[in-house]
Amino acid sequence: MTPARVPPEPSEVIGRLPTDAGLRRQLAAAARSRGRTASVAAEIVEIEAELADIDVKSVDLTAARRRVAEATGETERLKERVATLRGDARARRAVDADEEAALDELESAAAELSAAQTEAIAAEQALERARAEAARARDERRRRLRLRDRLRNRRRDARRELAASVYPEFREALAVVPGGDPDAAGDDPGAYDGDPIAASLAAVRVAALDGAVELRGEAARAVEASKRNARALLRASPVRVRGESLASVGAGRSDGH
């Protein structure tokens, strides 16, 4: 069974900037940080539960086929042996020779043949069961693939819905953050054509993150160059640059460095 995937914490998506996440994923994380859920959330849980219940077992048809082949080969060999011994017994009877030893050997070979035929039947039945299990496993794998496709689609729907729910606030935040341009927002995240760092800063501003926000590289330089109060700008407490807290004003840091 595959356990249901837990969505990443919002801070894992936008708690460190720059981020590798796309804008829609960032805004969805911001919406989740504010307690919002998508209308397809219950369906996602159901699909994940159904996926977790699928247990596709490995079926070894090769071993089952080998058993049938070996049992069939042994049966044919013993059939030939019984036929030979039966002919030998008839020949001895025809010339009034002692056939007791030949009959004993024939009886023993016939018993072996009967056991081999029983094994061959059991092997064929086992192969049929294995084929049925393999067919069921194929069906389950196909069902799992369909569910995974459906889950991907629903998660994408959820991200789009959540991102759209905070997009007006994101557009407003673009007017506040360094390098932001509300006119670049367009109608949805797919239409945004502005600065990606500004977009990430705006996403953090509309979020309600519990932990610290860490700024690195371009994100850190943009905030420091703005000479703005970092906490007020991002509405996050604390804000850190490379592990150090930003001062409330300018590029200085609270530890004096």
Q: pLDDT tens-digit profile of 131-142?
A: 999 999 999 999
Q: pLDDT tens-digit profile of 97-124?
A: 566 777 888 888 899 989 999 999 999 9
* Residue 241 vs residue 223, higher pLDDT: 223
| 3 state SS for 195-220 | CHHHHHHHHHHHCCCCCCEEECHHHH
Q: 187 Cβ partners below 8 Å, 6+ apart?
A: none
pLDDT of residue 96: 58
Q: 34: burial class by Cβ within 10 Å (0-12, 13-18, 19+)?
A: middle
pLDDT of residue 26: 97
Closest CA to 239 of 32, 22, 13, 15: 15
Q: What region, left, alpha or beta, does residue 253 occupy, with left being phi > 0 and alpha being psi -120 to 50 degrees?
A: beta
**How many whole angstroms separate alpha carbon 117 and alpha carbon 62?**
21
pLDDT of residue 211: 85
In the chain, the percentage of residues whose pLDDT exceeds 90 is 68
Contact 75, 113 (CB under 8 A): yes
Mean pLDDT estimate for the chain: 87
Q: Any alpha helices (H) in 38-99, and if so which ranges?
A: 41-53, 61-94
pTM, two decimals, is 0.72
Residue 239 has pLDDT above 60, yes or no: yes
Instruction: Report long-range pairs for 53-58 (Cβ below 8 Å, ≥24 apart).
Output: 53/1, 54/1, 54/2, 54/140, 54/143, 54/144, 54/147, 55/1, 55/140, 56/137, 56/140, 56/141, 56/144, 57/133, 57/137, 58/137
- Determine which of 63-67, 103-107, 183-187, 208-212 has the lowest per-residue pLDDT on average: 103-107
pLDDT of residue 255: 31
Residue 250 has pLDDT above 60, yes or no: no
Closest CA to 13 of 163, 151, 150: 163
Q: pLDDT tens-digit profile of 48-61?
A: 999 999 998 888 89
User: Per-residue pLDDT averaged across 76-80, rounded?
Assistant: 91
Phi, psi of 248 (to 5 degrees): -70, -25
**Residue 208 pLDDT grade (very low, low, confident, very high; cuts 50, 70, 90):** very high
**Residue 19 pLDDT grade (very low, low, confident, very high; cuts 50, 70, 90):** very high
